[in-house]
Amino acid sequence: MSKTRPGPGGERGVIINTASIAAYDGQIGQVAYAASKGAIVGMTLPLARDLASYGIRVNTIAPGLIDYYSTVVGLFMTPLLAGLPEKMQQQLGESVPFPSRLGNPEEYAQLVQAIIDNKMLNGETIRLDGALRMPPK
């Protein structure tokens, strides 16, 4: 990426990492998972600063509950939670303040596109979670 021809504003690209709201709200039994997501969040700003001279931006999305074909990760549906009973999946969605549902992959993709389009957005972690804050367990 650092070797590509820069665009009109000098930009060569953007790196968009995925963390999780567990980086902020790790639950009981999630030490390793929360720490790994916290590491992604923690490296976002320093990496953006390191790569700025190359015209490369770095941002991170920290998703909550998102519905990926009836499976859930964080609070977005993924294969990890596919085995949960439908009632439990519904309850997870209802735990989101607003909108009270699991997120959709299209909403994640819309945020990715917005990050790509907004050249000033750099070194940021954006929570995509409907204002959800996870309880300790």
Q: Where are the domains of the chain?
A: 13-128
List 24, 33, 54, 108, catalytic entry: 33
Burial class (CB in 10 A: 0-12, 13-18, 19+), 52: middle
CA angle at 40 for the pair 36 and 41, rounded to the nearest 5°:
115
- Paired strand residues for 14: 57
| 82 or 22, higher pLDDT | 22
In CATH, the architecture of 13-128 is: 3-Layer(aba) Sandwich (3.40)
Catalytic residue list contains 33 = yes
pLDDT, tens only, 3-58: 999 999 999 999 999 999 999 988 888 899 999 999 999 999 999 999 999 999 99
CA torsion sign for 90, 94, 95, 100 is positive
The pLDDT, as a whole number, for residue 82 is: 61
What the block records as the tokens of 68 is 């990926």
